[in-house]
Amino acid sequence: MTMKNLIEMLPEDQFIRIYRSYIVPVNKIEQVRNKVISVGDKKIPIGNKYEKDFFSKYLN
């Protein structure tokens, strides 16, 4: 299954794709700083391709 197929199956308001190989649950995002999000003890970059969509959804 591709990441595109997977994200299409998940609830749009609960999950967001932030990088080519990362889909994260919105309610688990603890911090966003300099295009890097914190989820637990993990730091995940926000890809340039996904940045606009992420910030339009996350900041609303």
Domain boundaries, the chain: 3-58
CB 40 within 8 A of CB 24: no
Q: What is the mean pLDDT of residues 38-60?
A: 92
Kind and range of the H or E element at 6? Answer: helix 3-9
Per residue in 20-47, pLDDT (tens digit) is 999 999 999 999 999 999 999 999 999 9
Buried b (16+ CB within 10 A) or exposed e, 6-26: eeeeeeeeebbbbbeebebee
Confidence of residue 59 (pLDDT cuts 50, 70, 90): confident
pTM as predicted: 0.86
